[in-house]
Structure 1
Amino acid sequence: MTADRPIASAARRTLAVGVAVLAAVTASAAMLAAPAAAASADLATDCTPDGTTACVSPIVLDENNDPVPGVDVTIAGPEFEGVVTSTDGPVSVAVPTVGSYTLTVDPATVPDGMSSNVPERTVVAQLGSTARGAFRIVEGGAPAETGSTTEPSETTAGGGDDEADASGIGAEGSTENVSGWPAFSQVWQQFGSGIRFGLLLALASVGLSLIYGTTGISTFSHGEQVTLGALLGFISINWWGLPVWAAVLATIVICAATGWLQDVVLWGPLRKRGTPVMQLMIVTIGLSMSLQYVIQMFIGGRSQRVLPSNARPVEIAGITLSAASWLSMLVALGVIGVIAWFLTQTRIGRATRAVSDNPALAAATGINPDRIVRIVWTMSTGLAGLSGMLLAISFGSFTWTLGMILLLLMFASVTLGGMGTAFGALAGSIVIGLVVEMSTLIPGMPSSLRYASGLLILILVLLVRPQGLLGRAVRVG
């Protein structure tokens, strides 16, 4: 009996220690869970995207596309997890960082006899846009489909798991309007975003117009020069550790050097052989595809952030954009002013306009068209690189498809303003930027269709005024 007492006493001590440990773990878990529950309860569901804010919006609909209220959706991603409950209207929450977020429906909150067609979806949040994940509640217990969807209203600009609409390019502050006509403040905000997008687009469009004016080539590889600028900005800031101003200068110089090299190695020899313009345009398509996939192999399909720090919002005249956006607009205005001075006040600029108007007559007056064309290629690719870097800085990130998406908008801008006219390209870019951004304010207009509105302008211009706003009517045939 005496021998059994120490054993029993030890067993009781062990049991007591075990109970204490279990109680401590339970208490710790409760303490950890309490803030999370509070965060979910206090989660704001009226997120408005801007230059410093990324939003995620779960959408729960029935078979008739009507909202289903009362369904809990968990949003989980980098350094964030919260639960939102669907309502009769749109709900969206602000997330702390850009990247992939998983949306999961809580089956216990789905109405009886019904289930979600997809248990979870993955969306990609980008600054200045709302990433939406839609769930459909159907009768029965079998899912109707599987997979995931990403519908950010960016960036931009896809490719891979971090696919974003142009990495949010051109989408800051834009959301799908489903609640009726917008207030004046929304219109004014989108107007500012449209001016910003138009100015940055103009840097690339002016170069594209100059190339067409002096060579007659509609170069499809110009979009990849924009992507190259964003890539060089990313490399110079994040890999080389250069300050932003030095990275901008390095990007301009390197991109301009690629244009000079292209004309020396490719376009110059083809011009001397008398290669027709159609064949030259096909060469630009091949060059474009090659550059696209080289850039994709280099950075992958995910979006890349150029500036490592979060954007700082600045409000001017009632328009809230990131500080980087305002500075980019100032740089774009300054560079456009320099281009205007160069084309109108310098000998080379006047010679460029002469070659654009009539190459044969310009050659007869002593101008060397080949030299002017080389200068134009060098300057245009430098401007495209600057445009790409400023776009990536303003909208937070970019992907390898940035140039491919912007190329059609550049063509629309150049056609709207007048093919071959630099000032027409500037005017066309501003109009396209405004149309793209403000089209998302139309009730029921999906923000993913905003680029289509710019292309609609292109079609209308070709039908009504083919020469563009500032172009001259030319007899054909």
Structure 2
Amino acid sequence: MSAAFAGLLLGLGVNSSAGAQEALGVHGTLEDQQDQPVAGVTITVADASGTEIAAVESGADGAWAVELDAEGTYVVTLDESTLPDGLLVRNGRPQLEVEVSSNRAVLFPLDTQLAEGVEPQQPGDDATDAGGESDSPEEETSDADTEDGEQLGAIEDEGGSTRAISLLVSGLHFGLMIALAAVGLSMVFGTTGLTNFAHGDLITFGGVMALMFNVAFGLPVWVAAILAVALGGAFGWAQDFGLWAPLRRKGIGLISMMIISIGLALLIRFATLFFFGGQRERYNEYVGQKPWDLGWLVIAPKEVVTGIIALVVCVAVALALLFTRLGKATRAVADNPALAESTGIDVNQVIRLVWTIGGALAAMSGVFLSISDGVKFDMGQHLLLLVFAAVVLGGLGTAFGAFIGSMLIGVFVQMSTLVIAPELKYVGALAVLIIIMLTRPQGILGRRERIG
């Protein structure tokens, strides 16, 4: 049955991908800084010689599309005079030159002001200075892709190895963001056996707290981030102290606790929606940055900084698990709680520490993602499926496996856009997960267990 189900999903993914590849053209969706669709904006597509091929207007949902007859180089222009008053193209590039060999998504990020360090494009400027293709999570405009960050600077529109390197680096960064959340989730599962569906909303909690400290209290983003991570850890501690520990003492089963975690996730999510609102909000700093153009790679400085910090934190957690007394106690509880308790380890205290670390890591993931994407009440919900995929792929209950699974998922999601439509990149990642589970159910670093 499981094999048939996996085959059906893979068939759907392959068929959808094939259909997407048959189409040839350019398309996109125009949204303002609050993620509201922008209708009635004129988009013109011309060939390399400047001959106009088509001019269309964005629809009520902000979407536009132009079908093309042949592959090649095309110039896509957004007529800024048709934008609503106060809106402009944030990266200063209303004209983009793109190479079309499939149905390509083209991004025009709209806002009320230019990104930091960006000069508006002047008539006659070379449109190839910046591309607007949406091949990575950082450049997608749909809510489902918000866990991937919006690249506010200019992105080189080059093919071949340059594009592959950019996608690889973007995938590594995305994988690190997933890893921050996945390591904590895996540690909670390893020590308690609980599949915590509220973990995605801990990610949202971190982003919301950082935004509050930055916007409402006027603190710098780096100070707001530190406070948000501390509050995330405190929130994790409070969850275990006030909810999960009492449930464990009452002997509540894991299935019942998993259902409770779903209810808790909904409570946090809709409480955030009620008090915070459904619009996307951005920090007062780092909304847009002039990217570093290395020739073979274009990347925003904030992505480099957040990626390095995430990597250092993940390495620090790994070293702590291997070489500290608390880390060894955590691994002992994950292996056999009863045996660990018989040796004098305070199992409940270890579990509470794990909840604290997990909450802090999830909040850090939310802060780093929201620096690029902005904050929205359901941002963690969209990332949760990939976090679960990373944990299962690496091996349930092992923090090291969660890190490896996260990196693989992040890189695969990004690199897959070289051969499939960007809209299908998550389908490919989850298809690989199904294949791994069919061939190695314990995951990459998991151990086989005797059943029956």
Q: Say yes or no: TM over 0.5.
A: yes
Deviation at 1:350, TM superposition (A): 0.3
Q: Does 1:273 align with 2:280?
A: no
Q: CA deviation at 1:328?
A: 0.2
Q: How far is 1:233 from its partner?
A: 1.6
Query: Equivalents in 2 of 1:171, 1:428: separation in Å?
Result: 23
The reply to whether residue 97 of structure 1 matches residue 111 of structure 2 is: yes
Q: 1:476 aligned to 2:451?
A: yes
Q: d(CA) in 1 for partners of 2:246 and 2:136?
A: 44
Q: TM-score, normalised by structure 1?
A: 0.68
Match of 2:83 in 1: 76
Provide closer, same or farther for how the CA distance between residues 170 and 295 of structure 1 changes in structure 2, counting only shifts above 3 A: same
1:447 aligns with 2:422: yes
User: Aligned with 1:59: secondary structure?
Assistant: strand
Match of 2:296 in 1: 318
Asked if 1:234 corresponds to 2:211, the answer is yes
Any idea what SS the aligned residue of 2:441 has? coil
1:388 corresponds to: 366
Tell me the distance in 2 between the aligned counterparts of 1:329 and 1:458.
24
- 2:66 maps to 60
Q: Does the CA contact (< 8 Å) of 2:45 and 2:75 recur in 1?
A: no
**Aligned with 2:450: secondary structure?**
coil
What residue is the counterpart of 1:142 in the other structure? none
Structure 1's 380 and 129: CA in aligned 2 closer, same or farther, altered over 3 A?
A: farther
Indicate the SS of the match to 1:304.
coil
Residue 257 of structure 1: aligned partner: 234
Q: How far, CA to CA, are the matches of 2:219 and 2:75 in structure 1?
A: 50
> Is residue 382 of structure 2 the alignment partner of residue 424 of structure 1?
no
Structure-2-length-normalised TM-score:
0.72
Coordinate RMSD, CA, aligned: 3.8
Deviation at 1:433, TM superposition (A): 0.3
2:438 aligned with 1:459: no
Local SS of the residue matching 2:111: coil
| TM-superposition CA deviations, 1:409-462 (whole Å, max 9, x none) | 0111011111100111010000000011111111xx231222222222221111
Cα distance in structure 2, aligned partners of 1:278 and 1:91? 42
**Cα-to-partner distance string for 1:382-428 (whole Å, 9 max, x where unaligned):** 100001101111x2323222111111101110111111001110100
Q: 1:264 corresponds to which letter in structure 2?
A: F
Larger deviation, residues 343-352 vs 397-406: 397-406
CA contact (8 A) 1:57 1:130 kept: no
Change (3 A) 1:193 1:83: closer
Letter in 1 for 2:382: I
Q: Secondary structure at the match of 1:305?
A: coil
Partner of 2:350: 372
> Does residue 187 of structure 1 match 2:161?
no
CA distance in 2, matches of 1:286, 1:233: 25
1:39-438 to 2 correspondence within 5 Å?
58-61=64-67, 74=79, 76-77=83-84, 78-80=86-88, 92=106, 94-95=108-109, 97=111, 164-167=143-146, 169=148, 172=151, 182-308=159-285, 309-315=287-293, 318-393=296-371, 395-438=372-415
Counterpart of 1:367 in structure 2: which amino acid?
A: I
Q: Which residue pairs with 2:39 in the alignment? A: none
- Mapped to 2, the partners of 1:356 and 1:195 lie a distance apart of 28
How many Å apart are 1:476 and its aligned residue? 1.9
| Alpha-carbon distance change, 258 to 242 in structure 1, aligned in 2, over 3 angstroms | same
Q: Following the alignment from structure 1 to structure 2, what is the Cα–Cα distance between the partners of residues 317 and 66?
A: 25
Letter paired with 1:60: V
Letter in 2 for 1:337: V
Task: Determine the C-alpha separation between the residues in 2 that align with 1:83 and 1:313.
Answer: 17
- Kindly indicate whether the alpha-carbon contact (under 8 Å) linking 2:182 and 2:391 is maintained by their aligned counterparts in 1: yes
Q: Deviations over 1:348-391 (max 9, x none)?
A: 11000000011111111111111110110011011000011011
Q: Which runs of 5+ in 2 are unaligned?
A: 1-43, 51-61, 114-129
Measure how far apart 1:326 and its partner are. 0.5
Report the CA distance between 1:314 and its aligned residue.
Answer: 2.1
1:255, 1:382 within 8 Å by CA — same for their partners in 2? Answer: yes
Q: Distance between the aligned counterparts of 1:245 and 1:169, measured in 2?
A: 20
Segments of structure 1 that go 5 or more residues without pairing to the other structure are 1-39, 46-55, 100-126, 132-151, 174-178
Aligned to 1:139: none
- The DSSP-based 3-state class of the residue aligned with 1:472 is coil
CA distance in 2, matches of 1:328, 1:349: 25
C-alpha spacing 1:128/1:258, structure 2 compared with 1 (3 Å):
farther
In structure 2, the CA distance between the partners of 1:58 and 1:88, relative to structure 1 (3 Å rule), is farther
Which residue does the alignment assign to 1:26? none
Q: Confirm or deny: 8 A CA contact 1:170 1:193 kept in the other structure.
A: no
May I ask how many residue pairs the two structures share in their alignment? 367
Q: 1:166 to 1:290 in 2, by over 3 A?
A: farther
Report if the CA contact (8 A) 1:201-1:410 is conserved.
yes
Instruction: Give the partner amino acid of 1:354.
Output: A
| SS class of match (2:258) | helix
1:20-31 equivalences under 5 Å are none
Aligned equivalents of 2:365, 2:106: Cα separation in 1: 31
Secondary structure at the residue paired with 1:229? helix
Where 2:148 maps in the other structure, the secondary structure is coil
Deviations for 1:231-280, whole angstroms, at most 9, x for unmatched residues?
11211111111122211210111111111111111001000001011001
Residues 272 and 455 from structure 1, CA distance in 2 versus in 1: closer, same or farther, beyond 3 angstroms? same
Q: Distance in 2 between matches of 1:88 and 1:417?
A: 37
SS in structure 2 at match of 1:400 = coil
